[in-house]
Amino acid sequence: MQTETHEGPSVYGEPAPRRRSWLIYALIAAGLIAAALIGRWFASAGAAKNAHAGRPVAAVGVAKVVTADVPVTVTAIGTVTPTDTAIVRTQLAGNLFHIYFHEGQQVQAGQVIAEVDPRPYHWALLQAEANLARDTAQLHDAQLDATRYRTLLRQDSIASQQVDTQMALVKQLRGTVGSDRAAVGTARLNVEYTSIKAPVSGLIGLMQVTVGNYVTPSDTNGIAVVTRTDPIDVTFALPQTQLTTIRKGASAANGLPVTALDQDNQTVLAHGTFSTFDNQINTSTGTVNAKARFANPGAVNKQALFPNQFVNVSMLVNTLHKVNTVPVSAIRHGAPGDFTFVVQPNNRVKLTVVKTGPSDGVNVAILSGLTTGQTVVSEGADGLDDGSQVKLPGQGGKGGSGGDNKAGGAAVGGQGHHRHQHTDNS
């Protein structure tokens, strides 16, 4: 007898396989919920343990908000430019006879630095003087004859035409004598030109020719180059937005002071005064060229500024008087903008957004957000959040502050201007 097996509907009216699938899904969901609850329990237990143990208090360095004068400066990269640069060329063609300078020597305007062979020009001068003497004698003789002819004409002894002819000869000889005098002057000038003189006072460069070379006025390189190094200029570019402010300062009696520093921006090379702007703005960069003049005394090896040298320029445009200042290291940057941590009486810090102004490299002006006398964290603020507990200098314990608590003093370098993202502790 055969028995037939039929899979009928379950008690709930669903097929058996579907019932098993729902059971599996339910077990998986229950496992996930249990795992989440267990993880949350462990997290709560760990947080409670940490809270019971206490978070380590950060040791920080602090500084007071103090009132001070802050200079407003404009900085740029400048190029040292001589006030005068002259290529020394001969004005006569000839062989270079002598050189009277050493390369790198300081020369004075009018000083003889080289000489072209003067002998041909001396002979030319003698010839011009001889021609002048000859034509002067002829003029003198013609003038005597003209005087005699006028006397005879009054006596009606000669015709008036003869007198007129003689007077014309006198005028002609006067012109010849005048031309001879000019030739003599030119010849004397050529003799002077054989001595090549420095056109300006300054530093003479390397020799471009040596004795024995044939030189001409058309030589491109000339004999040498002389640059005036005292005083000396520095040219630099400034943003066009600074034009109005700088013009106002430049119109003052003493002008705007300018400082030139070396390429490392550490050593002051010279102090000068702003001179002028260029007459147009560079449309491609939005800047305008400016020039400052510096005294640059001393021997060649003692002059602070050298032609074509690159320097860092700092120009004092204005001074903010009696503004709140804090060390540069006390200012942080993050999502709120510029901010600092203000130490509260309970040794907790408060994140305070501030508006910063100009800086002198050590302290920065605070235009709003702080008041005089407040205490701010100047170092050790990297791990702080709003409300964090801190340990101030002199409170004992391990992990000192790393600096004295001096009002307005700068903290140890490297703490300021780090990125700090504020974290909500809720």
Mean pLDDT within 298-321: 82
Mean pLDDT within 349-368: 89
The pLDDT-based confidence of 168 (bands split at 50, 70, 90) is very high
The pLDDT-based confidence of 408 (bands split at 50, 70, 90) is very low
Name the strand (E) or helix (H) holding 183: helix 160-193
What is the structure's pLDDT at 177?
95
What is the structure's pLDDT at 406?
39
Question: What whole-number distance in Å separates Cα of residue 315 and Cα of residue 422?
Answer: 37
Task: Kindly report, residue by residue over 107-116, the tens digit of the pLDDT.
Answer: 999 999 999 9
Higher pLDDT, 19 or 419: 19
What is the structure's pLDDT at 10?
46
Q: Does domain 92-116+197-227 have CATH number 3.40.50.2300?
A: no
The string of DSSP codes covering 191-226 is: HHHTEEE-SSSEEE---SS-TT-EE-TT-SS-SEEE
**Through-space distance between the first and last CA atoms of the chain, rounded to whole angstroms:** 77
Give the three-class secondary structure for 341: strand
Question: What whole-number distance in Å separates Cα of residue 169 and Cα of residue 376?
Answer: 104
The token pair that represents 190 in the structure block: 């050529």
Entry pTM: 0.60
What is the structure's pLDDT at 386?
87
Q: Which CATH number fits domain 58-70+321-391: 2.60.40.1260, 3.30.200.20, 2.60.40.420, 2.40.420.20?
A: 2.40.420.20
pLDDT at residue 23 is higher than 90:
no
What is the structure's pLDDT at 425?
39
What is the structure's pLDDT at 415?
36
Lowest-confidence region among 29-43, 212-226, 297-311, 338-352: 29-43
What is the structure's pLDDT at 41?
55
Classify domain 74-83+228-319 at the CATH topology level.
Elongation Factor Tu (Ef-tu); domain 3 (2.40.30)
What is the structure's pLDDT at 400?
39
Mean of per-residue pLDDT scores for the chain: 81
Task: Kindly report, residue by residue over 52-92, the tens digit of the pLDDT.
Answer: 445 578 888 899 999 988 888 888 999 999 999 999 999 99
Task: Give Cα 233 to chain centroid, integer Å.
Answer: 12
Question: What whole-number distance in Å separates Cα of residue 213 and Cα of residue 96?
Answer: 6
Mean pLDDT within 12-27: 61
What is the structure's pLDDT at 7?
45
Q: How many CA atoms lie within 13 A of 66 on its CB side?
A: 15
Mean pLDDT within 369-381: 89
Task: Kindly report, residue by residue over 180-227, the tens digit of the pLDDT.
Answer: 999 999 999 999 999 999 999 989 999 999 999 999 999 999 999 999
All CATH 1.10.287.470 domain ranges of the chain, comma separated, are: 119-193
Mean pLDDT within 401-413: 37
What is the structure's pLDDT at 32?
75
Q: What percent of the chain has pLDDT over 70?
A: 81
Higher pLDDT, 422 or 155: 155
Lowest-confidence region among 62-66, 255-259, 309-313: 255-259
Q: What percent of the chain has pLDDT over 90?
A: 41
Name the strand (E) or helix (H) holding 225: strand 224-227
All CATH 2.40.420.20 domain ranges of the chain, comma separated, are: 58-70+321-391
What is the structure's pLDDT at 36?
65
What is the structure's pLDDT at 384?
84
What is the structure's pLDDT at 317?
84
Task: Kindly report, residue by residue over 263-282, the tens digit of the pLDDT.
Answer: 888 889 999 999 888 888 98
Residue type, 197: K
pLDDT at residue 121 is higher than 70:
yes
Beta strands in 244-386 (DSSP E): 257-261, 268-277, 287-294, 310-327, 332-334, 337-343, 349-353, 355-359, 363-368, 375-379
Question: What whole-number distance in Å separates Cα of residue 155 and Cα of residue 171?
Answer: 24
Classify domain 119-193 at the CATH topology level.
Helix Hairpins (1.10.287)
All CATH 2.40.30.170 domain ranges of the chain, comma separated, are: 74-83+228-319
pLDDT at residue 128 is higher than 90:
yes
Question: What whole-number distance in Å separates Cα of residue 118 and Cα of residue 146?
Answer: 42
Sign of CA dihedral 147, 151, 157, 160: positive
pLDDT at residue 416 is higher than 60:
no
What is the structure's pLDDT at 302?
67
What is the structure's pLDDT at 312?
93
pLDDT at residue 426 is higher than 50:
no
